[in-house]
Amino acid sequence: MTETIHIVGAGVAGLSCAIRLSDEGKRVALYESARMAGGRCRSYYDSALDLTIDNGNHLLLSGNRAARDYAGRIGAAEALVGPKECVFDFLDTRSGERWKLRPNASRIPLWIFAKDRGVPGAGPLDYLGVLGILRAGHEATISDAMRCSGNLYERLWGPVLLAALNTEPREASAALAAAVLRETLAAGGDACRPMAATHGLGPAFVEPALKTLAARGAEVRFGARLRKIGFDGDRATKLMFGDETVGLGENDRIVLATPPWAAQELIPDLIVPDDFRSIVNAHFKIAPRRGQPLLLGMVGSLSEWLFAFEDRLSVTISGADRLMDESRESLAERIWAEVAAATGLATEIPQWQIVKERRATFAATPRQEARRPPAVTRWSNLFLAGDWTATGLPATIEGAVRSGYKAAAHVLGTE
């Protein structure tokens, strides 16, 4: 009897796993409890704005090899756009000073010696402070490994590491920060060109994947919430979806690509991250002014990163637990005042939407890093995927795709 790989969860982790397995000719059945795929990486129509927006802004870098490979496999490589060279625009909202961070393409960081390529007021020796992160142990926080104060920290390391880890850098894992730096900035400008899905996360990561899977005969079910997994000995034997039970054949396998709290309810004694951090995204229905960069880092303000899309301006604020109880109206007014000042647009607030993600990512602390499980479980036919598993990276699209690929490799017996 033909084997079936049952993948539970149609976020990026589950989709990337399904794509890799279907690439190898495997029969795939994909189950999603929601009415649409994508999880925390999706696009949807927002009636308040009369626009299709993303539930959160996601920036990729050219060094995110797994995410770019996945986009290529589903025919969506061109959906990710950005400058041909590495350049990041910054604004210090307190002084009004603007600059461009422009690392050179090679690994040898010649850019730190050029005043017009780095952070104003920072000298070459200042950049060496981050080397402590690369040498730190797994139990160390970033504050254990480097000085978390001063001009360069406030204008570069602090904002970048907060965005990458979604956790206050002083308490965040130095090991996770090191993993990000090694694959991006430390690898040279060629590895850290900013890239974004300017027409939406759905068209870039979700819809093409579903189309590809459908063309290959994969079964995709929405509104299918897994209630329980039946076990017998060292194998999972059935999946129970409320009124329906799916029996598992001798060669069938399962990849559980749900959020960690859902996986913990389904798998006995599973240890998963249990501390999470929030993100706030603000969307404003207004076209950016001519010359507005795709991405602007805003230092010294509530707003942290300003994305310029064709039909809207969007702001992302990481580690936003402190803002969860603030009214949406207040947040919109505060954020727009900063955006208007930064862009020269009128102070009158346009149509807006505030999206609060309370459990956007696991807290990237050493303690939570230690709670991330591997892809394999003690059941021979059950594997895990998700950015919360032990990918070695923080909770990002890149981490989600790598987790899906790793689970697929275990199913295929190539890991």
Residues 6-27 pLDDT 10s: 999 999 999 999 999 999 999 9
Mean pLDDT computed over 370-374: 98
Residues 177 and 127 in one domain: yes
> For residue 363, what pLDDT band results from cuts at 50, 70 and 90?
very high
pLDDT given at position 1: 56
Residue 302 lies in a domain: no
Residues 266 and 376 in one domain: yes
Rg (CA), the chain: 22
Q: Is the pLDDT of residue 70 over 70?
A: yes
Residue 16 lies in a domain: yes
pLDDT cut 70: percent of the chain above it? 100
Please tell me what DSSP assigns to residue 248.
Answer: P
Structural domain containing residue 385: 4-43+201-274+365-412
Mean pLDDT computed over 244-271: 96
Q: Please, which residues bridge with residue 356 across strands?
A: 280
At residue 297's C-alpha, the angle toward residues 91 and 113, to 5°, is 75
Q: Which CATH number characterizes residue 20's domain?
A: 3.50.50.60
Return phi, psi of residue 157, to 5°. -60, -45
CA separation, residue 343 to residues 19, 196, 300 (Å): 41, 20, 16
Number of domains in the chain: 2
Mean pLDDT computed over 97-126: 95
Assess contact for 24 and 218: CB atoms under 8 A.
no
Assess contact for 198 and 309: CB atoms under 8 A.
yes
| Residue ranges in 257-396 assigned as alpha helix (H) | 260-266, 328-343, 366-370
Q: Which of 135, 167, 190 is the last residue of a domain?
A: 190
Assess contact for 386 and 395: CB atoms under 8 A.
no
Identity (one letter) of the amino acid at 139?
A: E
Q: Is the pLDDT of residue 304 over 70?
A: yes
Q: Which of 168, 190, 212 is the last residue of a domain?
A: 190
Predicted confidence (pLDDT) per residue in 130-161, tens digit: 999 999 999 999 999 999 999 999 999 999 99
Identity (one letter) of the amino acid at 268?
A: P
